[in-house]
Amino acid sequence: MAASGEPGRQWQEEVAAVVVVGSCMTDLVSLTSRLPKTGETIHGHKFFIGFGGKGANQCVQAARLGAKTSMVCKVGKDSFGNDYIENLKQNDISTEFTYQTQDAATGTASIIVNNEGQNIIIIVAGANLLLNTEDLREAAKAISRAKVMICQLEVTPETSLEALTMAHSNGVKTLFNPAPAIADLDPRFYALSDVFCCNETEAEILTGLTVSSPADAGKAAQVLLERGCQVVIITLGAEGCVMLSQTEPVPKHIPTEKVKAVDTTVKAAPDPKARWPQLPAFPP
């Protein structure tokens, strides 16, 4: 069922420019000086609970950049799920298509982060894996009227593929983040992606190529472009990103300003322009 409660705005009368179909994860974060070894118990110095999941991170970032947004997702009918719905509302995100289920718990990510920002993560997807095509059909009007639809792979691939198909068939621009990456990704994902955005590790899994430099990323991006994407962006952490498109097929390296890594678990940007504003807009 859809989440109950009064939305922060009368979203039913407004069209969301950005619709995200994807995951919500409750982050259970422990901070420690170093990562534990196998079988070792160590003391941490701080614990907190946060709101994560690639899909929700992307939706919140789009909302903070000023877009009207809607989140199509599924959480458990539990305290984590209730808190998550409230968090989305507080970020002015429509929860009209945020569903709750009694058949699984809200997805969780247990995260350990050391002083250098390195981390170990275990996710239990839970309710995220129960988001299905029937839910998407209920959200079809919102998806078809959006300007951009974003999805990833923290829900089932079948659900993400259906979301891309619905958006693409209605002329909605699509941004696909193939994470977690699948080596034998269905070829239709490429053809349905206006913007295909992955990091270097995901690019390696998808192409079988080593990606350890911007030049390597350019080669991997060309392989992905040949599979039918309109625009390919490979993010490289501190090295910035590499992009190319069907209209500009020569790889272009776009550096970024150096920053101190505080926690690399928060890295799912909905629009690469949020971090690299010099990127061109969506293809016409």
**Residue list, annotated binding site:** 25-27, 53-57, 154, 199, 235-240, 256, 263, 265, 269
* DSSP string across 131-159: --HHHHHHTHHHHHH-SEEEE-SSS-HHH
Question: For 122, which DSSP code?
Answer: E
Q: Which residues are annotated as a binding site for K(+)?
A: 263, 265, 269
Where do runs of H (alpha helix) occur along the chain? Answer: 54-64, 79-90, 133-138, 140-145, 157-169, 188-191, 200-207, 214-226
Instruction: Enter the tokens of residue 132.
Output: 């299905």
Give CA–CA dist 97/154, Å, rounded.
Answer: 17
Contact predicate 115/35, CB 8 Å: no
Q: Which residues are annotated as a binding site for ATP?
A: 199, 235-240, 256
* Closest by CA position to 270, among listed 92, 93, 57: 57
Give CA–CA dist 159/165, Å, rounded.
Answer: 10
Contact predicate 107/84, CB 8 Å: no
Give CA–CA dist 150/159, Å, rounded.
Answer: 12
Question: Which residue's entry shows tokens 């350019």?
Answer: 218
Q: Which residues are annotated as a binding site for substrate?
A: 25-27, 53-57, 154
